[in-house]
Amino acid sequence: MSSPGPVRALVVGESLVDIVRDDGGEVTHPGGSPLNVAVGLARLGIPTLLHTSFGADSHGSLIAQRLEDSAVALTPESVNTEPTSIAEATIGVDGAASYRFAVEWDPADIVIDPPPSIVHTGSISALLEPGAAVVERIVRDLREVSTVSYDPNVRPQLMGSPDFARRRVESHVANADVVKASDEDLAWLYPDRSPDEVLARWLASGPALVVVTRGEDGADAIAASGRVHVDAPTTNVADTIGAGDSFTAGLLAVLADRNLLGGDRQGALRAIASSTVVEVVTFAARCAAFTVSREGANPPTRAELEGI
Protein backbone atom coordinates (compact mmCIF):
# COMPACT_ATOMS: atom_id res chain seq x y z
CA MET A 1 0.00 0.00 0.00
CA SER A 2 1.02 3.63 -0.35
CA SER A 3 1.17 5.64 2.84
CA PRO A 4 -1.19 8.65 3.06
CA GLY A 5 0.64 11.97 2.84
CA PRO A 6 4.23 12.87 3.74
CA VAL A 7 4.69 10.27 6.49
CA ARG A 8 7.97 10.67 8.34
CA ALA A 9 7.41 7.99 10.99
CA LEU A 10 5.97 4.50 10.76
CA VAL A 11 5.07 2.83 14.06
CA VAL A 12 4.34 -0.89 14.02
CA GLY A 13 2.88 -2.54 17.10
CA GLU A 14 0.00 -3.31 19.40
CA SER A 15 -2.95 -1.12 20.30
CA LEU A 16 -5.15 -1.88 23.29
CA VAL A 17 -7.23 -0.24 25.97
CA ASP A 18 -5.89 0.36 29.47
CA ILE A 19 -8.57 -0.27 32.09
CA VAL A 20 -7.11 1.70 34.99
CA ARG A 21 -8.22 0.99 38.55
CA ASP A 22 -7.32 2.95 41.68
CA ASP A 23 -9.04 4.13 44.84
CA GLY A 24 -11.14 6.50 42.77
CA GLY A 25 -12.70 3.79 40.62
CA GLU A 26 -12.14 2.64 37.03
CA VAL A 27 -11.30 4.55 33.84
CA THR A 28 -10.66 3.23 30.31
CA HIS A 29 -7.93 4.81 28.17
CA PRO A 30 -6.62 3.88 24.69
CA GLY A 31 -3.08 2.56 25.05
CA GLY A 32 -0.40 0.12 24.04
CA SER A 33 3.23 1.21 23.91
CA PRO A 34 3.52 1.56 20.09
CA LEU A 35 0.18 3.40 19.86
CA ASN A 36 1.34 5.78 22.61
CA VAL A 37 4.58 6.46 20.72
CA ALA A 38 2.62 7.15 17.51
CA VAL A 39 0.34 9.60 19.34
CA GLY A 40 3.34 11.25 21.01
CA LEU A 41 5.15 11.71 17.69
CA ALA A 42 2.10 13.15 15.95
CA ARG A 43 1.43 15.59 18.80
CA LEU A 44 5.04 16.76 18.46
CA GLY A 45 4.49 17.52 14.80
CA ILE A 46 5.92 14.40 13.16
CA PRO A 47 3.57 13.03 10.44
CA THR A 48 2.99 9.48 11.65
CA LEU A 49 1.44 6.28 10.28
CA LEU A 50 0.48 3.45 12.66
CA HIS A 51 0.18 -0.17 11.58
CA THR A 52 -1.53 -2.14 14.32
CA SER A 53 -4.40 -4.54 15.01
CA PHE A 54 -7.63 -3.90 16.89
CA GLY A 55 -11.28 -4.84 16.64
CA ALA A 56 -14.30 -3.03 15.24
CA ASP A 57 -15.83 -2.95 18.72
CA SER A 58 -16.44 -0.33 21.41
CA HIS A 59 -12.87 -0.52 22.68
CA GLY A 60 -11.57 -0.27 19.13
CA SER A 61 -13.69 2.84 18.62
CA LEU A 62 -11.88 4.48 21.55
CA ILE A 63 -8.55 3.69 19.89
CA ALA A 64 -9.66 4.99 16.50
CA GLN A 65 -10.93 8.21 18.09
CA ARG A 66 -7.65 8.78 19.96
CA LEU A 67 -5.70 8.35 16.72
CA GLU A 68 -8.00 10.69 14.81
CA ASP A 69 -7.86 13.33 17.56
CA SER A 70 -4.05 13.21 17.51
CA ALA A 71 -3.76 13.24 13.68
CA VAL A 72 -2.18 9.77 13.51
CA ALA A 73 -2.79 8.06 10.15
CA LEU A 74 -3.89 4.42 10.39
CA THR A 75 -3.34 1.66 7.86
CA PRO A 76 -6.70 0.26 6.68
CA GLU A 77 -5.49 -3.27 7.49
CA SER A 78 -5.26 -2.35 11.19
CA VAL A 79 -8.98 -2.82 11.91
CA ASN A 80 -10.23 -6.43 11.98
CA THR A 81 -12.94 -8.70 13.38
CA GLU A 82 -11.03 -9.84 16.49
CA PRO A 83 -11.73 -8.40 19.96
CA THR A 84 -9.58 -5.41 20.90
CA SER A 85 -6.79 -6.30 23.34
CA ILE A 86 -7.01 -5.16 26.97
CA ALA A 87 -4.49 -4.22 29.67
CA GLU A 88 -5.82 -3.90 33.21
CA ALA A 89 -3.67 -1.45 35.17
CA THR A 90 -3.79 -1.04 38.94
CA ILE A 91 -2.30 2.20 40.29
CA GLY A 92 -0.39 1.99 43.58
CA VAL A 93 -0.03 4.71 46.21
CA ASP A 94 3.22 5.86 44.54
CA GLY A 95 1.52 6.31 41.15
CA ALA A 96 3.22 3.26 39.61
CA ALA A 97 1.11 0.92 37.50
CA SER A 98 1.00 -2.89 37.59
CA TYR A 99 -0.61 -4.74 34.66
CA ARG A 100 -2.68 -7.78 33.69
CA PHE A 101 -3.16 -8.47 29.97
CA ALA A 102 -5.60 -10.07 27.52
CA VAL A 103 -3.70 -9.57 24.26
CA GLU A 104 -3.78 -11.06 20.78
CA TRP A 105 -1.25 -9.84 18.20
CA ASP A 106 -1.88 -10.99 14.63
CA PRO A 107 -1.47 -7.98 12.30
CA ALA A 108 -1.70 -8.03 8.52
CA ASP A 109 1.54 -7.98 6.55
CA ILE A 110 2.02 -4.76 4.60
CA VAL A 111 4.49 -2.93 2.37
CA ILE A 112 5.06 0.79 2.97
CA ASP A 113 5.99 2.89 -0.05
CA PRO A 114 7.58 5.41 -0.03
CA PRO A 115 9.67 4.47 3.02
CA PRO A 116 9.49 6.64 6.16
CA SER A 117 12.41 8.39 7.83
CA ILE A 118 11.70 6.50 11.07
CA VAL A 119 10.31 3.04 11.78
CA HIS A 120 9.61 2.35 15.45
CA THR A 121 8.55 -0.86 17.11
CA GLY A 122 8.88 -2.71 20.38
CA SER A 123 7.09 -4.06 23.43
CA ILE A 124 4.73 -7.02 23.03
CA SER A 125 4.53 -6.70 19.24
CA ALA A 126 8.21 -7.49 18.70
CA LEU A 127 8.10 -10.76 20.67
CA LEU A 128 4.55 -12.15 20.61
CA GLU A 129 3.75 -14.46 17.69
CA PRO A 130 2.33 -14.62 15.12
CA GLY A 131 2.67 -10.85 14.76
CA ALA A 132 6.34 -10.70 15.75
CA ALA A 133 7.29 -12.26 12.41
CA VAL A 134 5.41 -9.49 10.57
CA VAL A 135 7.21 -6.83 12.63
CA GLU A 136 10.57 -8.43 11.91
CA ARG A 137 9.89 -8.55 8.15
CA ILE A 138 8.80 -4.90 7.99
CA VAL A 139 11.86 -3.74 9.93
CA ARG A 140 14.16 -5.87 7.81
CA ASP A 141 12.78 -4.38 4.59
CA LEU A 142 13.18 -0.81 5.85
CA ARG A 143 16.48 -1.26 7.68
CA GLU A 144 18.67 0.31 4.97
CA VAL A 145 16.38 3.23 4.12
CA SER A 146 14.93 4.26 7.49
CA THR A 147 16.20 4.89 11.02
CA VAL A 148 15.05 1.96 13.17
CA SER A 149 13.92 2.70 16.74
CA TYR A 150 13.25 -0.03 19.31
CA ASP A 151 11.94 -0.10 22.88
CA PRO A 152 11.72 -3.55 24.53
CA ASN A 153 9.15 -2.23 27.06
CA VAL A 154 9.22 -5.55 28.89
CA ARG A 155 5.94 -7.19 29.88
CA PRO A 156 6.97 -10.36 31.79
CA GLN A 157 3.43 -11.77 31.76
CA LEU A 158 3.52 -12.05 27.95
CA MET A 159 7.17 -12.49 27.01
CA GLY A 160 8.01 -15.92 28.36
CA SER A 161 11.21 -16.56 30.30
CA PRO A 162 13.92 -13.88 30.60
CA ASP A 163 16.29 -16.17 28.67
CA PHE A 164 13.88 -16.44 25.71
CA ALA A 165 12.99 -12.74 25.76
CA ARG A 166 16.64 -11.70 26.10
CA ARG A 167 17.60 -13.49 22.87
CA ARG A 168 14.77 -11.84 20.94
CA VAL A 169 15.40 -8.42 22.49
CA GLU A 170 19.10 -8.57 21.68
CA SER A 171 18.30 -9.42 18.05
CA HIS A 172 16.08 -6.34 17.78
CA VAL A 173 18.67 -4.16 19.52
CA ALA A 174 21.35 -5.25 17.05
CA ASN A 175 19.12 -4.23 14.12
CA ALA A 176 18.18 -0.85 15.58
CA ASP A 177 19.77 2.59 15.34
CA VAL A 178 18.09 4.08 18.41
CA VAL A 179 17.22 2.00 21.48
CA LYS A 180 15.41 3.18 24.59
CA ALA A 181 14.77 0.94 27.61
CA SER A 182 13.91 1.42 31.27
CA ASP A 183 15.97 0.30 34.24
CA GLU A 184 13.10 -2.07 35.09
CA ASP A 185 13.42 -3.67 31.63
CA LEU A 186 17.13 -4.23 32.17
CA ALA A 187 16.67 -5.59 35.70
CA TRP A 188 14.31 -8.29 34.39
CA LEU A 189 16.38 -9.13 31.31
CA TYR A 190 19.80 -8.96 33.03
CA PRO A 191 19.43 -9.53 36.78
CA ASP A 192 23.18 -10.09 37.17
CA ARG A 193 24.38 -7.07 35.15
CA SER A 194 24.42 -3.36 35.92
CA PRO A 195 22.60 -0.94 33.59
CA ASP A 196 25.97 0.56 32.62
CA GLU A 197 27.21 -2.86 31.49
CA VAL A 198 24.09 -3.42 29.41
CA LEU A 199 24.32 0.03 27.83
CA ALA A 200 27.87 -0.66 26.67
CA ARG A 201 27.02 -4.16 25.49
CA TRP A 202 24.02 -3.00 23.48
CA LEU A 203 25.90 -0.10 21.90
CA ALA A 204 28.65 -2.48 20.78
CA SER A 205 26.07 -4.73 19.09
CA GLY A 206 24.99 -2.12 16.54
CA PRO A 207 22.90 0.91 17.59
CA ALA A 208 24.10 4.50 17.28
CA LEU A 209 22.36 5.62 20.49
CA VAL A 210 21.14 3.70 23.54
CA VAL A 211 19.18 5.33 26.36
CA VAL A 212 18.01 3.88 29.66
CA THR A 213 15.41 5.74 31.74
CA ARG A 214 15.56 5.54 35.56
CA GLY A 215 12.33 7.23 36.64
CA GLU A 216 12.95 9.99 39.16
CA ASP A 217 16.71 9.34 38.85
CA GLY A 218 16.76 10.64 35.28
CA ALA A 219 18.23 8.93 32.24
CA ASP A 220 21.59 7.70 30.98
CA ALA A 221 22.61 7.52 27.33
CA ILE A 222 25.58 6.20 25.42
CA ALA A 223 26.83 6.85 21.89
CA ALA A 224 30.19 6.63 20.18
CA SER A 225 30.93 10.12 21.56
CA GLY A 226 30.57 8.89 25.15
CA ARG A 227 28.15 8.46 28.03
CA VAL A 228 25.89 11.18 29.49
CA HIS A 229 23.41 11.54 32.35
CA VAL A 230 20.35 13.80 32.43
CA ASP A 231 18.39 14.52 35.61
CA ALA A 232 14.62 14.04 35.67
CA PRO A 233 12.53 17.24 35.80
CA THR A 234 10.64 17.80 39.03
CA THR A 235 6.94 17.07 38.63
CA ASN A 236 3.86 15.90 40.51
CA VAL A 237 3.09 12.29 39.52
CA ALA A 238 -0.52 11.38 38.74
CA ASP A 239 0.49 8.00 37.31
CA THR A 240 3.33 6.57 35.22
CA ILE A 241 1.24 5.15 32.37
CA GLY A 242 2.79 6.03 29.01
CA ALA A 243 5.78 7.89 30.48
CA GLY A 244 8.37 5.77 28.70
CA ASP A 245 6.46 5.97 25.42
CA SER A 246 6.29 9.75 25.68
CA PHE A 247 10.04 9.75 26.33
CA THR A 248 10.60 7.69 23.17
CA ALA A 249 8.43 9.99 21.08
CA GLY A 250 10.28 13.03 22.39
CA LEU A 251 13.63 11.42 21.70
CA LEU A 252 12.73 10.65 18.09
CA ALA A 253 11.05 14.01 17.49
CA VAL A 254 14.06 16.03 18.55
CA LEU A 255 16.43 13.78 16.59
CA ALA A 256 14.20 14.56 13.59
CA ASP A 257 14.46 18.27 14.44
CA ARG A 258 18.25 17.92 14.30
CA ASN A 259 18.06 16.21 10.86
CA LEU A 260 19.57 13.01 12.27
CA LEU A 261 16.98 10.50 11.08
CA GLY A 262 16.56 8.66 7.77
CA GLY A 263 18.60 6.14 5.84
CA ASP A 264 20.84 8.85 4.39
CA ARG A 265 21.60 10.26 7.87
CA GLN A 266 22.93 7.10 9.51
CA GLY A 267 26.50 8.40 9.45
CA ALA A 268 25.46 11.69 11.07
CA LEU A 269 23.51 9.84 13.76
CA ARG A 270 26.51 7.65 14.55
CA ALA A 271 28.66 10.79 14.86
CA ILE A 272 26.21 12.50 17.26
CA ALA A 273 28.03 14.73 19.76
CA SER A 274 27.62 14.25 23.50
CA SER A 275 26.23 17.79 23.80
CA THR A 276 23.49 16.91 21.28
CA VAL A 277 22.72 13.69 23.16
CA VAL A 278 22.19 15.78 26.32
CA GLU A 279 19.81 18.09 24.40
CA VAL A 280 17.69 15.28 22.94
CA VAL A 281 17.50 13.30 26.20
CA THR A 282 16.60 16.46 28.13
CA PHE A 283 13.72 17.14 25.73
CA ALA A 284 12.56 13.51 25.97
CA ALA A 285 12.63 13.71 29.77
CA ARG A 286 10.46 16.85 29.65
CA CYS A 287 7.91 14.97 27.53
CA ALA A 288 7.83 12.10 30.02
CA ALA A 289 7.52 14.47 32.99
CA PHE A 290 4.58 16.22 31.35
CA THR A 291 2.88 12.86 30.75
CA VAL A 292 3.19 11.59 34.33
CA SER A 293 1.68 14.83 35.61
CA ARG A 294 -1.74 13.81 34.24
CA GLU A 295 -3.71 10.58 34.22
CA GLY A 296 -3.32 7.96 31.52
CA ALA A 297 -1.05 7.86 28.48
CA ASN A 298 -1.61 11.47 27.44
CA PRO A 299 1.60 12.88 25.89
CA PRO A 300 2.13 16.61 25.32
CA THR A 301 1.90 18.68 22.18
CA ARG A 302 4.65 21.10 21.18
CA ALA A 303 2.44 23.98 22.24
CA GLU A 304 1.96 22.52 25.72
CA LEU A 305 5.69 22.03 26.15
CA GLU A 306 6.30 25.63 25.11
CA GLY A 307 3.62 26.88 27.49
CA ILE A 308 1.44 28.33 24.74
Q: pLDDT tens digits for 272-284? A: 999 999 999 999 9
pLDDT surpasses 80 at 95: no
Mean pLDDT of 155-177: 92
pLDDT at site 249: 97
Helices (H) and strands (E) in the chain, counts: 10, 15
pLDDT surpasses 60 at 49: yes
pLDDT band at 93 (very low <50, low <70, confident <90, very high): low
Q: pLDDT tens digits for 176-201? A: 999 999 999 999 999 999 999 999 99
pLDDT surpasses 80 at 15: yes
Mean pLDDT of 240-248: 88
pLDDT surpasses 50 at 171: yes
pLDDT at site 151: 97
Q: pLDDT tens digits for 96-144? A: 667 777 888 999 999 888 899 999 999 999 999 999 999 999 999 999 9
- What's the pTM value of the predicted model, to 2 decimals? 0.91
- Mean pLDDT score across all residues of the chain: 90
pLDDT surpasses 90 at 2: no
pLDDT surpasses 50 at 4: no
pLDDT at site 1: 33
pLDDT at site 106: 93
Q: Are 242 and 34 in contact (CB under 8 A)?
A: no
pLDDT at site 242: 79
Question: Quick one: which H or E segment has residue 27?
Answer: strand 25-31
- What string of H, E and C letters represents the secondary structure of 183-195? HHHHHHHCCCCCH
Q: Look at strands 79-80 and 54-55 and give their pairing.
A: parallel
pLDDT at site 185: 96
- Reference 142, options 166, 169, 121; nearest CA is 121
Q: Are 252 and 121 in contact (CB under 8 A)?
A: no
pLDDT surpasses 90 at 160: no
Q: Are 127 and 162 in contact (CB under 8 A)?
A: no
pLDDT surpasses 80 at 297: no
pLDDT band at 19 (very low <50, low <70, confident <90, very high): confident
pLDDT at site 65: 95
Spatial separation of the C-alpha atoms in residues 108 and 130, rounded to whole Å:
10
Question: By percentage, how much of the chain surpasses pLDDT 70?
Answer: 94
